[in-house]
Chain A
Amino acid sequence: MELGPIVLSFVVALVATLLAFVVGVPLAALLARRFPGRMVVDALVTAPMVLPPTVLGYYVLVSLGRDSPIGQAWQAVTGSTIVFTFTGLVVAAFVGALPFVVRAARAAIEDVDERLVQAARTLGATRSRAFYSVTLPLARRGIGAGVSLGFAKALGDFGVTLMISGNISGRTKTGALAIFDAVLAGDGATANGLALVMTASAVVALVFANRLVERRAR
């Protein structure tokens, strides 16, 4: 069994989850406050959870493809395209992971007792200082749970990846694509092996997420 696609999936999922964390937590903090249009922003961030992967794949292809302004700017700077590359895989996984991180982080941040934050403020902490030293530490388990879920989701992305990866062996063929190819090729041994590894990884990530949530509830 070729393990390359699984390794690739893990690396992609790690990078994508890290990005989803960096982008998702500030976004969650923003959404935890009231501002006009909050519901719309929230719906837009959550939409990837419920949209068909083909719709997402199409958006990614159109908005980041070689004809798009973003795709062209990226190519001018890096010399390579976004689609058909590692970068494209990360984008596909990131889009899937982000809503999980944002939703969990937002709930966790909203759960933090406002009085504790206000106490910090009366002691002279700036708004951002209070956020970093009070809100974030208290919300860390919920954020961790979201990150674990996002990782599991990123690890298994198929639809978006199928549409933008070019399925290149050794470069953009992820675990999920390799399973698809193996099933079609009638290669049951490879399909079973890869599917088992992917399932085990997802279960571990979910158990991890559950433990974080349970400890938070205690």
Chain B
Amino acid sequence: MKAFVGALLRAACGGMLLLAACGGQGRREVVVAAASDLTNALPELASAYYAKTGVTILPTFGASKLLATQIEQGAPFMVFMSANAAFVDDVVRSGRCDGATRALYARGHLALWARAGTTNPPRSLAELSDARFVHIAIANPETAPYGAAAQAALEHAGVWDQVAPRVVRGENIRQALQLAESGNADVAIVSRSLVIGAHGTSVDVDEALLAPIDQALVVCGPSADARAFVGWVNGAEGQGILSRWGLGR
């Protein structure tokens, strides 16, 4: 038993040494908390930025409210890329992030998506009142800006009351999309940036129903690398990549 515990301890120490070596000095990293609508765009930003500067971007995706709450509780994120502007204001007010670095970096659009093979996919939000759409996936409106936007758009389209009993909620828009990708929901209302390249049909939600969503970011903590990354995202190269994912300002 003693020998076993000893071996276990040695293995654990070895693992920690390895981790320390891997995350070792000299490697420059920026830990980013990013809204789920950036699931496709941010990895592309990260690899382009790494190729250019050698700085590694480590993204964590989630519902913006979840990330904001984590930052307020002291999570060690260096950049917060939200799916709205309000949560950025919240983290700045909490004192965890530098208000001077707050900037709009993207403008998002809502899209209605059905997977390939769906017979008669919807062409507008109004069509969702039809009972053939048994489950309609959105992100949790309480925590995800795109979830709140989806609900607002359905309300403006005048179909929320009919649709509400059939709405299922993912923890974030990536999960909402997954529920439709797996066929458990008939359609998902998510960000356009998420469905570009997804295997299905997508229709942009009429902007008369919902204005484009301004997304803000902010730097948290003293990192100069984080400030440089944010500056690059808002420059021509970063904006070029974001535009390709339907997130251009």
Interface residues of A (CB under 8 A from B): 61-62, 65-67, 81, 83-84, 162-163, 166-168, 181, 183-186
Contact = CB atoms under 8 A, between A and B. Distances in A.
Nearest to A171: B165
Nearest to B70: A184
Contacts of A183: 69
Given A81-B134, A166-B137, A167-B168, 16 more contacts: A62-B182, A65-B182, A66-B183, A67-B182, A67-B183, A81-B184, A166-B168, A166-B170, A166-B179, A167-B171, A181-B143, A184-B65, A184-B66, A184-B69, A185-B65, A186-B69
A84 B140 CA distance: 14
B32 interface: no
Contact of B135 (A166, A181, A185): A166
B169 A184 contact: no
Contacts of B167: 168
B176 to A, nearest CB: 10
Nearest to B171: A162
Contacts, number: 49
Contacts of B65: 184-185
Given A83-B184, A185-B143, A168 B171 contact: no
B135 A84 contact: yes
- List the 7 shortest-distance A-B pairs measured between CB atoms, nearest first: A166-B168, A67-B183, A167-B169, A184-B143, A65-B184, A84-B168, A83-B184
Interface in B160-217: 167-171, 175, 179, 182-185
Contacts of B142: 181, 184-185
A66 B186 CA distance: 10
